[in-house]
Chain A
Amino acid sequence: MQEKKLINVIKDNFFPVAGAIAMFISLGVLFVLIIDVFKDGLIRLNFKFLTSYPSRFPEQAGILSAWVGTVWIMVLTALFIFPIGIASGIYLEEYAKPGKLKDFLEINISNLAGVPSIIYGLLGLQIFVYFLKLDRSVLAGALTLSLVVLPIVIVATREALKAVPLSLREGSLALGANKLQTILYQVLPSAFSGILSGVILAMSRAIGETAPLITIGALTYIAFLPTGPFTSEFPFITLAGLKDFFTVLPIQIFNWVSRPQKAFHANAAAGIIVLLVISLFINFLAIYLRIKFEKYMRRK
């Protein structure tokens, strides 16, 4: 038996130890941040805070319009990015013929993923707010955010489709299924949990975006809610809310943080907690759906 050489032990353990330290540093910072936020914000967090509109008196100010705005924007963004992102991913991965057009599209989508979000805000301002005359509405906000995160969904969809084994496609095509049937019935279901991961990632990014929404003119003080989607009269559903003005949590938080009064900072901390909870809820929902779907795929 040879004795263990110290130098080899060090070499073997260097990376795991360094990696663990790096992880604990970043986790530690996050942890301190969360503790700090909870310490400041928990006292302000109550039912009244969630059901009140903003106010210039910090004790009376609430977050109702902001969280409702965030939920509106998130739901709409999901509705836009899901079909558009997946369809684009399918086109690029399954149908686009190799060549100049495909190269051009691919380069641009990778580039778009790296464009600062405020640029999208300017784009949204020009196209949605001025050109399509949507004004600074919920719809314009959701469309702008969709632009910001669409590249993420497209790239994730493509990766997920790429990961589907060739044998599955061949199995379907060899039975005489056409390309569309093969994609819809075999490839897409197999890729779906990967696609869902991409959508979660995109939603997590979108929920925290502030700059593009400020650019298109989302207001920081809103004392009313967008019209709800349900009505008491036929057809019991209305899209009027899409045209209403809105604000979102990050904007409200930003607004409170930038005030000089200390009491507003507590409001900001409480707002951050609400934002964290909504964002975690979206994540859990998506993970739950994913597990559910994987189970369904396996039909246990």
Chain B
Amino acid sequence: MEENVKIEAKDFFAYYGNKVALKEINLKIFANKITAIIGPSGCGKSTFLRSINRINDLVDGFNITGTLSIDGKNIYDKDVDVINLRRRVGMVFQKPNPFPKSIFENIAYGLKIHKMYKNYDDLYEKVESALREAGLWYEVRDELNKSAFDLSGGQQQRLCIARAIVIKPEILLMDEPTASLDPISSAKIEELIKVLKKEYTIVIVTHNMQQAARVSDMTAFFMQGVMVEYDETAKIFTRPQNELTEQYITGRFG
């Protein structure tokens, strides 16, 4: 088990200014598993997720102590190249945020900025395979030059997933990826997430406990910045060890 640890938090604290957002998180996330982080609003689950690709560095006053390692290397070390980190750790956001460009350009963007293609044919091939992987190819193959905004919300979100995976990250972070979608689109995304875990380590933050139960292998329950419980999903949802976890998953507070 030990060598399969992909991400490891050790005594990880996060702060917004003086406000503590995460307290002493110790957590091992395993490679090629889907790990769900659940918890009530403001529990710090998004903060934790956004710490993994250091996108929270953009937030004024954000600060951390402790370590957060990927493959044993602390990503908050001074010598870490954030650009390269973010290339290896993709992210899908709560609201689909396609670029105001064509479908093709949306996917090609990552390849272009990292110069990850040889020629146009190669670029096209990679875009196509990412769209196939995201289950979007058959819907958009005839209109790659159309604006991404013309797609439905669910399609836009799958486009954002394709955009993230085209540069072959190792880890895929998903911040409530279905929160703004209808049930059918959500179901499609969930199916997709299950397929993607073969190639990627996936960490998904969700409000929706049923979703966590359906898609994830491991589940962590956060509350008020503390990780209350972390275990296999089946265990968390059937025999939670902590009373708070039980209360939360049975819907006694939310």
Residues of A participating in the B interface, judged by any CB pair closer than 8 Å: 165, 167-178, 181, 185-186, 189-190, 297-300
Contacts and interface: CB of A to CB of B under 8 A. Distances in A.
A119 to B, nearest CB: 37
B113 A174 contact: no
Nearest to A98: B60
Contact of B99 (A172, A176, A181, A300): A172
A184 B164 CA distance: 20
Contacts of B105: 299
Q: What are the 10 tightest A-B residue pairs by CB atom distance, in nearest-first order?
A: A176-B87, A167-B97, A176-B86, A174-B91, A299-B102, A298-B147, A171-B97, A175-B110, A177-B113, A299-B147
Interface of B: 53, 55, 58, 83-87, 90-91, 93, 95, 97-102, 105, 109-110, 113-114, 145-147, 149, 160, 163-164, 167
A291 to B, nearest CB: 15
Given A168-B99, A299-B102, A176 B113 contact: yes
A172 B113 CA distance: 10
Given A185-B109, A299-B147, A174 B102 contact: no
A173 B86 CA distance: 8
A299 B86 contact: no
Contacts of A299: 101-102, 105, 145-147
Contacts of A171: 93, 97-99, 160, 163
Nearest to A168: B97
A270 B87 CA distance: 63
A167 B110 contact: no
A300 to B, nearest CB: 6
Given A175-B164, A297-B100, A170 B113 contact: no
Contacts of B101: 297, 299
Contacts of B58: 169-170, 173
Contacts of B145: 299
A19 to B, nearest CB: 34
A160 B109 CA distance: 23
Contacts of B113: 175-178, 181, 185
A181 B102 CA distance: 18
A190 B58 CA distance: 20
Contacts of A173: 55, 58, 86
Contact of B100 (A170, A176, A298): A298
A68 to B, nearest CB: 40
A233 to B, nearest CB: 41
A44 B233 CA distance: 87
16 contacts: A167-B97, A170-B58, A172-B109, A174-B164, A175-B90, A175-B110, A176-B86, A176-B87, A177-B113, A178-B83, A185-B109, A185-B113, A189-B100, A299-B105, A299-B145, A300-B147
Contact of B95 (A167, A174, A190): A167
Q: Give the one of B95, B99, B149, B163 with max A CB within 10 A.
A: B99
Contacts of A167: 93, 95, 97
A148 B102 CA distance: 39
A175 B109 CA distance: 9
B177 to A, nearest CB: 13
B86 A170 contact: no
